[in-house]
Amino acid sequence: MTERHIPETDVEKVSYLRAGHSLRSWLLTTDHKRIAILYLYAVTFFFFIGGAAAALVRIELLTPGGDFLTNEGYNRTFTLHGVIMVWFFLIPSIPNTFGNFLIPLMIGARDLAFPRLNLLSWYIYLLGGTLTLYVLVAGGVDTGWTFYTPLSSMFANGNVVAATVAIFIAGFSSILTGLNFIVTIHTLRAPGMTWGRLPLFVWSHYATSLILVLATPILAITLALIAAERLFGIGIFDPSLGGDPLLYQHLFWFYSHPAVYIMVLPALGVVSELVAAAARKPVFGYWFVAFSSIAIAIIGFLVWGHHMFVSGQSMYASAVFSFLSLAVAVPSGIKVYNWTATLYKGHISLDPPFLFAMSFIGLFVFGGLTGLILAMLAIDVHVHDTYFVVAHFHYIMVGGTVSAFFGALHFWWPKITGREYIMVWGRLTAIFIFLGFNLTFFPQYLLGYLGMPRRYHIYDPSFQVLHVMSSLGASLLGVAYVLPFTYLFYSLRYGKPSPPNPWGVTGLEWTTPSPPPKQNFDQIPVVTTGPYDYPVEMEDRR
Amino acid sequence: MRSDLPLWPDQASAHASAVDILLYGFTGLIFALSVPVFILIIVFAVRYRRGRKVNRRHQVNRNALLEVSWSVIPFLLILCFFFWSAWLFFDLKHPPASALEIDVVAKRWMWKFQHPGGQGEIDELHVPVGEPVKLTMISQDVIHSLYMPALRLKQDVLPGRYTTMWFQADKPGIYRLTCAEFCGTNHSLMGGHFVVMAQQDYARWLQESGVDQTLAAQGETLFRTYGCSGCHSPAATVHAPSLDGLYGRPVALQGGETIIADEQYIRDSILLPQQQMAAGYPSIMPTFKNVLGEDDLTKIVAYIKSLKATQWREHP
């Protein structure tokens, strides 16, 4: 390979990346594209912090004894992993980076509706994140990311209050971003960009934003109540003070179950774009896919009780929640079947982004269907709070959302940076992630059904073989996650300049130069066609 | 490292095998719904790979009938399993009246089991085979969860509230029991075994770990020690309700409602006597909160449950 520095192209000279070189021009920017880059750095940082905690957990679990971390140390480590990954990676990952970068470009706008609010949202996120990290590393919190009461409010001996304050602060970042997206999608669509012409990525972000705005305040209230009980002894959750511990679980899951959809809906939007681009075909059943996002957002608010089948909740309530949890699978199923139908008679490319999309579909389907197993009342009684649950949500969150995140990164990288990366490395990464992921998490389904409880670091020796397999898979997965940093950074300096539309796909973002200029469009485009307006039967007309 | 690789947990009850059969059936359905998707994706990716010359002519990109059917038919199939599973679950909530009653107190980080004969054990539970057993459980501190994988059973154990779980083990053996709800520092260590024994072995075990007093008798001792009998005995001069035959009876409350006097009501009335006052009595009983632990409460409740309705007076 010849190492030569490709000089800046004319396009790059006027791009948003070159619109100012000072640190100040980045830290005080109101350009949605630059803020997206700021978010990309920040979420990547937190992803590796959370990943480091996961590595400690997997090392500890290599042996059935507690020989690497102390009991307290292990509890603090998995709490750190959960808190950082959920609130500081998964929730902001796709919306705040790719959503931020792409929504204005996709709808033909120059920026989000409230550019300064967008920057504020990043600073709030950073403040919350830094504070959380400090609290978790310096003092430690040992409640798990779920903060169940009365353990968290009356018994845990860590910095629970400080952690709740930090997450409380970070929540405002979510609310501001959600609000910004909703207003932007309503008011800043280009002429002719009707709701029926919105890319499905935008629809799924619209649904996500509704959840962000409606659910996050519930989390804030719940965290404030924990702090009130812990600091002032106000009896809300602890029965010895006259409170009800299950009230906490209702409040927490009323936020946290919809939050699962905050994490996965943007991924579903990414995959809809990737599948259409891979097949160069309109998405099959556009309206079904678009409205399935809205349906998921609505039904997602009605299923929280499926986390509480063995909590002592009324069995009739459990039956209703079980039924609704099965119902929420319908819109997800629609998406998967429609993606498959989109591929039918397409012109399918297996470039890296599309491999990530295929691997997403496989892992998401498997994770989703094992979620149905968990929604079955009698089976959940056995596998609740075991590694079966751990495996299930990692299939959705890591197999699903993280795969989609990498898919998005590989798809829009030429647009964001103006450079092309080496394809073969991207393909290898996609395959390594798929293999490493399955080796890590499939054994955990078996562990769960065998009866290995979660949050245990001292376990029955009969579980060891499966734990060792899982830890080996995690090392492969770790390597696969680091791999993109090499060839993507390499492309920044040595990659070929990207044309405006390297994949040959539809979408307003591909009509701008790569990278786009600061103002996105010289003239606001007038939209006259649907989002996936590919010629039917392109080269095969007979 | 142990090299054995167990792939299926022990089945110690009919319920455990019923749950496993449900899982097999549902897994079958899941494969039926998802494997075609995986196969089609691979077939399409190969057959319609970009650059390959194949017939790509197809109809318009919309087929409402097809889309509705692939949403509705899988849902209806899944619904059959929903009813099957709910039926198994409801069964778990209805213990037979004849069940052997064992009390469980959870505290960080141990399990305490109390047999009706007064035998107590820690982190180990002996039960007879082929006989229904009902566990009445409460926590002294945070939420715990009693998990018995070989029975496919788990129930959270809450502070301040009794929860129950019942089973009928039908295969003698020694099985694991653990805490499944994260409860702090030594959560991983909060476990032990339950031992399913043949009836005669269980009877022998009860005798060998014999104690002088049954649980109810131990409760009676506490009932006197803490001065409860001073007011609640027929001879007492204080105007307090008699407790004979109280358990399971409806009690008229001061607010006008009626409540069935179950374990929860009896326990709560000891700790928070002013909360649910029996109609027609002055509120003079002191609270025993912070005086009695859950173990002692269990014993006193067992004693009160044992009092037969010889002298019950609804309205004195």
Looking at residues B139-166, what average pLDDT do you find? 96
Cross-chain residue pair B75–A337, CB shorter than 8 Å: no
Residue in chain B lying closest to A141 (CA): B184
Q: Which of B48, B142, B152 sits opposite A343 (nearest CB)?
A: B48
Best of B65, B70, B182, B183 to disrupt the A interface (most A CBs within 10 Å) is: B182
What was the pLDDT predicted at B68? 81
Cross-chain residue pair A285–B62, CB shorter than 8 Å: yes
Strand (E) or helix (H) holding B174 = strand B173-179
A539 has pLDDT over 80: no
What was the pLDDT predicted at B1? 56
- Chain B residue numbers with beta carbons less than 8 Å from the beta carbon of A63 are 1
What was the pLDDT predicted at B57? 79
Which segment of A90-104, B20-34, B237-251 scores lowest on mean pLDDT?
B237-251
Looking at residues A250-270, what average pLDDT do you find? 95
Verify that B104 and B196 share a domain, yes or no.
Answer: yes
Q: Which of A72, A285, A451 sits opposite B9 (nearest CB)?
A: A451
pLDDT tens for A7-19 read 566 666 689 998 8
**Token pair 């649950």 is at which residue?**
A389
Residues 34-53 of chain B with CB under 8 A from chain A are 34, 37-38, 40-41, 44-45, 48-51, 53
Handedness of CA B92, B96, B97, B102 (dihedral sign): negative
Best of A287, A306, A328, A343 to disrupt the B interface (most B CBs within 10 Å) is: A343
Verify that B30 and B72 share a domain, yes or no.
Answer: yes
In a domain? residue B9: no
Residue in chain B lying closest to A468 (CA): B1
The CATH number of the domain holding residue B261 is 1.10.760.10
Tell me how far the alpha carbon of residue A45 is from its chain's centroid.
15
In a domain? residue B268: yes
In a domain? residue B75: yes
Q: Any CB–CB contact under 8 A between B11 and chain A?
A: no
Give residue B55's pLDDT band: very low, low, confident or very high (50, 70, 90).
confident
Domains identified in chain B, total number: 3
Q: Which of A348, A349, A385 sits opposite B181 (nearest CB)?
A: A385
Give residue A542's pLDDT band: very low, low, confident or very high (50, 70, 90).
very low
Residue in chain A lying closest to B91 (CA): A378
Q: Which residue has the higher pLDDT, A241 or A252?
A: A252
What was the pLDDT predicted at A147? 93
Cross-chain residue pair B187–A75, CB shorter than 8 Å: yes
Q: What is the mean pLDDT of chain A?
A: 93
Handedness of CA A251, A253, A257, A263 (dihedral sign): positive
Verify that B128 and B200 share a domain, yes or no.
Answer: yes
Residue in chain B lying closest to A345 (CA): B56
Cross-chain residue pair B37–A336, CB shorter than 8 Å: yes
The CATH number of the domain holding residue B109 is 2.60.40.420
Rounded distance between C-alpha atoms, residue A182 and residue A205, angstroms: 9
Cross-chain residue pair B85–A343, CB shorter than 8 Å: no
In a domain? residue B55: no
3-state secondary structure string across B208-260 = HCCCCCCHHHHHHHHHHHCCCHHHHCCCCCCCCCCCCCCCCCEEEECCCCEEE
Q: Any CB–CB contact under 8 A between B284 and chain A?
A: no
pLDDT tens for B76-108 read 999 999 999 999 999 999 999 999 999 999 999
Cross-chain residue pair A340–B44, CB shorter than 8 Å: yes
Q: Which of B74, B142, B289 sits opposite A151 (nearest CB)?
A: B142
Looking at residues A146-164, what average pLDDT do you find? 90
> What's the gap in Å between the CA of B98 and the closest CA on chain A?
22
Q: Which domain holds residue B222?
A: 215-306
Phi-psi region for residue B156, left (φ > 0), alpha (ψ -120 to 50) or beta?
A: beta
Verify that B196 and B219 share a domain, yes or no.
Answer: no
Q: Which residue has the higher pLDDT, A46 or B280?
A: A46
Verify that B180 and B259 share a domain, yes or no.
Answer: no
Give residue B272's pLDDT band: very low, low, confident or very high (50, 70, 90).
confident
Domains in chain A, please, with CATH?
27-511 (1.20.210.10)
> What contacts A298, CB < 8 A, 6 or more positions away?
none
Rounded distance between C-alpha atoms, residue B137 and residue B105, angstroms: 6
- Chain B residue numbers with beta carbons less than 8 Å from the beta carbon of A346 are 44, 48, 56
Verify that B104 and B204 share a domain, yes or no.
Answer: yes
Verify that B187 and B219 share a domain, yes or no.
Answer: no
Rounded distance between C-alpha atoms, residue A193 and residue A197, angstroms: 6
Looking at residues A302-315, what average pLDDT do you find? 95
A33 has pLDDT over 50: yes
In a domain? residue B26: yes
Cross-chain residue pair B48–A156, CB shorter than 8 Å: no
Residue in chain B lying closest to A147 (CA): B182
Which segment of A108-122, A238-252, A528-542, B167-181 scores lowest on mean pLDDT?
A528-542
Residue whose C-alpha is closest to residue A508's, from A67, A73, A103: A103
Cross-chain residue pair A338–B67, CB shorter than 8 Å: yes
- Give the single-character DSSP code of A4: -
Rounded distance between C-alpha atoms, residue B255 and residue B277, angstroms: 8
pLDDT tens for A105-115 read 999 999 999 99
- Chain A residue numbers with beta carbons less than 8 Å from the beta carbon of B70 are 333-334, 337
Cross-chain residue pair B180–A336, CB shorter than 8 Å: no
In a domain? residue B51: no
Cross-chain residue pair A451–B23, CB shorter than 8 Å: no
pLDDT tens for A468-504 read 999 999 999 999 999 999 999 999 999 999 999 999 9
Looking at residues A103-130, what average pLDDT do you find? 96
Verify that B136 and B74 share a domain, yes or no.
Answer: no
> How far lies A472's CA from each of A55, A395, A478, B60, B181, in Å?
11, 17, 10, 47, 27
pLDDT tens for A424-455 read 999 999 999 999 999 999 999 999 999 999 99
In a domain? residue B296: yes
What was the pLDDT predicted at B316? 40
Looking at residues A174-196, what average pLDDT do you find? 97
Cross-strand partners of B259: B251
Cross-chain residue pair A148–B181, CB shorter than 8 Å: yes
- Chain A residue numbers with beta carbons less than 8 Å from the beta carbon of B61 are 281-286
What was the pLDDT predicted at B72? 87
What was the pLDDT predicted at B64? 75
What was the pLDDT predicted at A502? 95
Cross-chain residue pair A540–B88, CB shorter than 8 Å: no
Looking at residues B285-294, what average pLDDT do you find? 88
Cross-chain residue pair B180–A386, CB shorter than 8 Å: yes
Rounded distance between C-alpha atoms, residue A178 and residue A210, angstroms: 7
In a domain? residue B202: yes
Cross-chain residue pair B141–A326, CB shorter than 8 Å: no
Q: Which of B41, B86, B93 sits opposite A361 (nearest CB)?
A: B41
DSSP secondary structure letters along A425-438: HHHHHHHHHHHHHH
Verify that B204 and B219 share a domain, yes or no.
Answer: no
Which segment of A178-187, B180-189, B231-240 scores lowest on mean pLDDT?
B231-240
Q: Which of A143, A326, A362 sits opposite B38 (nearest CB)?
A: A362
- Give the single-character DSSP code of B146: E
> What's the gap in Å between the CA of B167 and the closest CA on chain A?
13
pLDDT tens for A348-400 read 999 999 999 999 999 999 999 999 999 999 999 999 999 999 999 999 999 99
Give residue A3's pLDDT band: very low, low, confident or very high (50, 70, 90).
very low
Verify that B219 and B302 share a domain, yes or no.
Answer: yes
- Chain A residue numbers with beta carbons less than 8 Å from the beta carbon of B90 are 315, 319
Query: What is the token pair recorded at A273?
Result: 């774009």
Q: Which of B192, B208, B224 corresponds to the end of one domain?
A: B208
Q: Which of A341, A384, A457 sits opposite B188 (nearest CB)?
A: A457
Coil vs helix vs strand at B104: strand
Q: Any CB–CB contact under 8 A between B180 and chain A?
A: yes
Q: Which of A143, A373, A386 sits opposite B26 (nearest CB)?
A: A373
Residues 77-106 of chain B with CB under 8 A from chain A are 78-79, 81-82, 85-86, 88-90, 92-93
Looking at residues B268-279, what average pLDDT do you find? 87
pLDDT tens for B40-52 read 999 999 999 988 8
- Chain B residue numbers with beta carbons less than 8 Å from the beta carbon of A338 are 67
Coil vs helix vs strand at A530: coil
Residues 198-257 of chain B with CB under 8 A from chain A are none
Residue whose C-alpha is closest to residue B102's, from B128, B69, B75: B128
Q: What is the ipTM of this complex?
A: 0.91
Residue in chain B lying closest to A331 (CA): B71
Best of A379, A386, A529 to disrupt the B interface (most B CBs within 10 Å) is: A379
Looking at residues B141-154, what average pLDDT do you find? 96
Verify that B279 and B263 share a domain, yes or no.
Answer: yes
Residue whose C-alpha is closest to residue A151's, from B264, B107, B136: B107
- Taking each helix axis from N to C end, the angle separating A286-299 and A245-279, rounded to the nearest 10 degrees, works out to 170
Cross-chain residue pair B37–A361, CB shorter than 8 Å: yes
> What contacts A282, CB < 8 A, 6 or more positions away?
A276, A342, A530, A531, A532, A533, A534, B61
Verify that B219 and B199 share a domain, yes or no.
Answer: no
